Amino acid sequence: MSKGFTVDVEGMAAFRKRLERLADDVRKGAETALGEAAQSVRDDMRKGVPVDTGALRDSLTARVMRGELTAEIGPLGKEFYYAHYVEFGHSSMPAQPFIGPAAELERRRFPDRLRKHVGKHMPK
């Protein structure tokens, strides 16, 4: 029967702490990228939305839930239910897309944005 053995690696505790810190830093970088992306989509939506009174444009907001790494971007308020009709149209009104195009622009930009912010925390 073997008695077994123990291996003691010097610096392992410091290495574990560094890994934990790296994970936190990477998450912070992702949160920063998400915040910028949400603001960018909101700004592009504001540029593209058709304006009559300006109320729909002014209602466009970006809200980031950092803990969940998600964002909600769009009109704030039930009175702006008609944003759907503006985006997709209906039988007596042609579509005037402003949400989809803004999201598509950011879809193309987001990988570089994420690399920029997360990359700051990656070991060289």
The amino acid at residue 43 is D
* Structure confidence at residue 73 as a pLDDT band (50, 70, 90): very high
Question: Does 6 have pLDDT greater than 90?
Answer: no
Which ranges constitute the DSSP H helices of the chain?
12-48, 55-59, 83-88, 99-119
Contacts of 17 (CB under 8 A, 6+ apart): none
Quote the percentage of the chain above a pLDDT of 90: 61
Burial tier of 80 (Cβ tally within 10 Å: 0-12, 13-18, 19+)? middle
Question: Does 24 have pLDDT greater than 70?
Answer: yes
Q: What are phi and psi of 90, to 5 degrees?
A: -155, -170
Quote the percentage of the chain above a pLDDT of 70: 90
